[in-house]
Amino acid sequence: MLGHDVVTAAEAEGHDVVALARADLDITDADAVGAAVEDARPDAVINCAAFTDVDAAEELEAQATAVNGDGAGHLAAAAAEAGAHLVHVSSDYVFDGRAHDPYAEGSGTAPQGGYGRSKLAGETAVARATESFAIVRSAWLFGVHGPNFVATMLRLGAERDHVDVVDDQVGCPTWTGHLAPALVTIAREQLTGVMHVAGGGACSWFELARATFEQAGVDCEVRPQSSEALGRPAPRPAYSVLRSTRPEVPTLAAWPEGLAGYLENRMEAVR
């Protein structure tokens, strides 16, 4: 989902792009990663690969960490060997979600589940393997080229007269069509360190679902539900709003604009 949009954004800027899907490169294989980066001789590497099944990571944490942790370290080491800048995508799940004010880059990390621990392991591995890196934390991604919450709501809205959606989790919905060009900018300008790049503003999943139906013209009622009632295996951060305190870091448009862009992009893809 994100990788596809990064390729589009990079090519739009005129960059030569080598795009490797999971079938092309297993990032848990250090030798394969080293050979692929050496062959491509890139100026920058953008890591969009991830184990993203949050619930499955509770039982398969070792597998999640092999990708999100060790794999990120392999890419960082290979990038360092090639003299390339690494842009690594991380997550709001590295925080515990107990804050009441937006998390900045310097906020203390305290992941509560297997997925968050695997993503934090990736941040640590990247920082240890190379000095030329950007760790970009984002959140609540949705895009045309992969499964996501907004797509699920649109499907359910066409099938039902109402949906129940949690209203006690707040975050920053981020359209990959906005995040991808920001990642390319970070790679091109070789910005370094930890940075937060997510959709502007904040809302709950309940509010995002309601806005999705309103913008898409779908007649479906959204009913509030608690996270406890939903009963998912993995803990979710109750509050995971991300903000950057770094003026040089790209700023994304407000999440409703990202939602509108996604819906328009989705319509174009169907035509």
Mode of pairing for the β-strands spanning 141-142 and 203-204: unpaired
The continuous run of DSSP H or E covering 136 comes out as strand 133-138
Give the list of residues 6+ apart from residue 254 with CB closer than 8 angstroms, or none: 199, 200, 201
Please answer whether residues 153 and 213 qualify as being in contact, where contact means their C-beta atoms are separated by less than 8 angstroms. Answer: yes
CA distances in angstroms from 42 to 36, 199, 232, listed in the order given: 10, 29, 41
CA 170 to mean position of chain CA atoms = 16
> Which residues participate in catalysis according to the annotation?
115
Of 142, 150, 270, which Cα lies nearest the Cα of 209? 150
Helix (H) or strand (E) holding 87: strand 85-91
